[in-house]
Copies of this chain bind each other. A is one copy, B any other.
């Protein structure tokens, strides 16, 4: 049984072990603190990104366009065209592509 089940026990159930409950609370606290720490770092990075945009803007660049370019580069790299062929089959069936000769 996962130890966290201890936290979820129905009221009125007998506590199995004070020690176990303590461990569980410590474990939960550890998870929460790890998450909160990671979120802080993530937030700091978001601020760094904002600063770079601000710097670019102060140099005269259009940040809106920059964002679009970055988004497009991301899409290209993700290369969503897996299953491309089957999609084409359906598109053809819908008249979205010219018919081909088999």
Complex contact A65–B94 (CB within 8 A):
no
Q: Which of B29, B45, B66 contacts A41 (CB 8 A)?
A: B45
Residues of B within 8 A of A89 (CB): 7-8
Q: Report yes or no: B86 in contact with A12, Cβ–Cβ below 8 A.
A: no
> Could you list some 10 contacts between A and B, CB below 8 A?
A3-B59, A4-B59, A4-B60, A4-B61, A12-B102, A28-B61, A35-B49, A36-B73, A41-B45, A68-B83
A residues with a Cβ closer than 8 A to B are 1-5, 7-8, 11-12, 15, 24-25, 27-29, 31-32, 34-36, 38-39, 41-42, 45-46, 48-49, 52-53, 55-56, 58-62, 65-66, 68-70, 72-73, 83, 86-87, 89-91, 93-96, 102
